[in-house]
Structure 1
Amino acid sequence: MKVAIISDIHGNDLALEAVLADIDALGIADIVNLGDHVSGPLNAARTADILMARNIPSISGNHDRYLLTLDPTGMGLSDRAAHAELQPRHLEWLATLPATLVYRDAFFLCHGTPASDEAYWLEALTAEGVVHLAARSAIEVLATGIKQPVILCGHTHTPRAIRLADGRLVVNPGSVGCPGYDADSPVAHKVEVGSPDARYAIVESVGNDWSVTFRTVPYQHETMARLAAQRNRLQWAQALATGFLGG
């Protein structure tokens, strides 16, 4: 079994198309999607159309939930920009997506952690806002009760694979469409992956175990950076152009 894992597209339709083309070229039929599909100052509606047409098994991320539950006046800039583009059919599709999903009895999908779409699982923060690998004990606790051998999470946009003590594998594929962001909670911090490429992962069964391959896919990132700049989202533009936030 070979499955492509995508996550955190954030309305970047060109990055999504490049990743899907790469997956198709590799002959991989199974794809799962870990949420945060459309939020951002890019092309939310077209991104949703692509995903809906492919009918990829998908879950909801925290920004998908915000789009469904918050009044637009109370949304952040990225959610508000996406909401303004989306049609009722797009929101109806988002409303059908579960918070977690079991795929082919082997994969457990969540966005952040099994219990929260906002919490970091494989990363932790210092009091000064430095992002680092979480303690193994903390990662293990959050996997309690999950029976599947492969656990998939997104949210932090950071590609990572962690092997638990019992052999289970926890994989974050990284972000298809947003290579850097900052956040204020629980302390101010930023995440940068260091390149503008689209990212995803491939998980494959090998005998009685599983292997992970992380893919970086070049695409027309300059086009998306220009779009973000035109919409006065300069930090987005910097991240899309370079993989760094600057400053």
Structure 2
Amino acid sequence: MKIAICSDIHGNIEAFNRFLEVINAEGIKKVLNLGDFVRGKDPDKIMDYIMNDSRFESITGNHDEAYCLEIEKSATEIDKKYIEWIKTQPGERVVEIEGKKILMVHSRPTSNKCAPLMYNGGTFNEFMDDYPDGMDLVCFGHTHIQLFIENFYGKKILNPGSLGLAIEGKVNFAIIEIDNDDFTCKLYKI
């Protein structure tokens, strides 16, 4: 089974549409969205799509949480249904697909709110200690930097990069394929 993983869409509808073209051509049946889908020019179009496409499993990122607070206090830029939907999404999620446990997080619990660094001044080991054992794949976003580590103390680690605000200006995401008892991962920069 092929699974697409995206993060940090940031309201970029052009990048999102390019992503959809690829995943539809690849026959993707499941999409793991690691948060930060707002704070750009078209968050409503992106959220309409995500809310109505059953392939998407989503979590919130720091921008989603902050955006809801700002919008509730001021003029409504996003319809109330979007705010309510964002509030129903967890900050982390474990999904099981074909017997594999996949942890979806946006960043560390201690840095998701405001600190820009994934490690929050710590080591990669400390980052991994924040999350439960028994995960076959840990997926995170937030840094906008693609990363795939095949084996980190028995875990696979993936950051798909930023779909909507990539550092090098390309649309970044990943597709993993679960085949028998293993994962393969392809990082996309289009």
TM class by shorter chain equals 0.7 to 0.9
Cα deviation, residue 207, structure 1: 4.1
Q: Which residue of 2 aligns with 1:154?
A: 141
Q: Which residue of 1 aligns with 2:178?
A: 205
Quote the Cα distance in structure 2 between the aligned partners of 1:124 and 1:102: 23
What pairs up with 1:1-247 in 2 under 5 angstroms? 1-40=1-40, 42-55=41-54, 56-70=56-70, 84-104=76-96, 106-113=101-108, 116-118=111-113, 120-121=117-118, 135-143=123-131, 145-179=132-166, 193-194=167-168, 196-217=169-190
**Unaligned regions of 5+ residues in structure 1, if any?**
74-79, 126-133, 180-192, 218-247
Cα deviation, residue 164, structure 1: 4.5
Alpha-carbon RMSD across the aligned residues, in angstroms, is 2.4
Cα deviation, residue 214, structure 1: 0.5
Query: Number of paired residues?
Result: 184
Quote the Cα distance in structure 2 between the aligned partners of 1:17 and 1:71: 25
Q: 1:167 corresponds to which letter in structure 2?
A: G
**Unaligned regions of 5+ residues in structure 2, if any?**
none
Cα 1:45–1:140, aligned 2, differ >3 Å: closer, same or farther?
closer
Cα deviation, residue 138, structure 1: 3.3
**Does 1 or 2 have the higher relative contact order (CA < 8 Å, sep 6+)?**
2
Cα deviation, residue 216, structure 1: 1.8
Deviations for 1:15-52, whole angstroms, at most 9, x for unmatched residues? Answer: 11110110010111111100001112x11221211222
Quote the Cα distance in structure 2 between the aligned partners of 1:85 and 1:70: 10
Quote the Cα distance in structure 2 between the aligned partners of 1:19 and 1:163: 24
Deviations for 1:120-160, whole angstroms, at most 9, x for unmatched residues? Answer: 43x677xxxxxxxx8443344334x2322001100111100
Task: Point out the structure with the larger helix share.
Answer: 1
Cα deviation, residue 206, structure 1: 4.0
Q: 1:213 corresponds to which letter in structure 2?
A: K
Quote the Cα distance in structure 2 between the aligned partners of 1:156 and 1:28: 25
The runs of at least 4 aligned residues of structure 1 exceeding 6 Å deviation read: none
Specify the structure having the higher radius of gyration (Cα): 1
Q: What TM-score comes out, normalization by structure 2 length?
A: 0.84
Q: 1:37 corresponds to which letter in structure 2?
A: F
Task: Point out the structure with the larger strand share.
Answer: 2
| Secondary structure of the corresponding residue to residue 57 of structure 2 | coil
Q: 2:133 corresponds to which letter in structure 1?
A: I
Deviations for 1:156-198, whole angstroms, at most 9, x for unmatched residues? Answer: 111001244432111000111012xxxxxxxxxxxxx32x221
Quote the Cα distance in structure 1 between the aligned partners of 2:153 and 2:161: 24
Cα 1:135–1:11, aligned 2, differ >3 Å: closer, same or farther?
same
Cα 1:113–1:171, aligned 2, differ >3 Å: closer, same or farther?
same
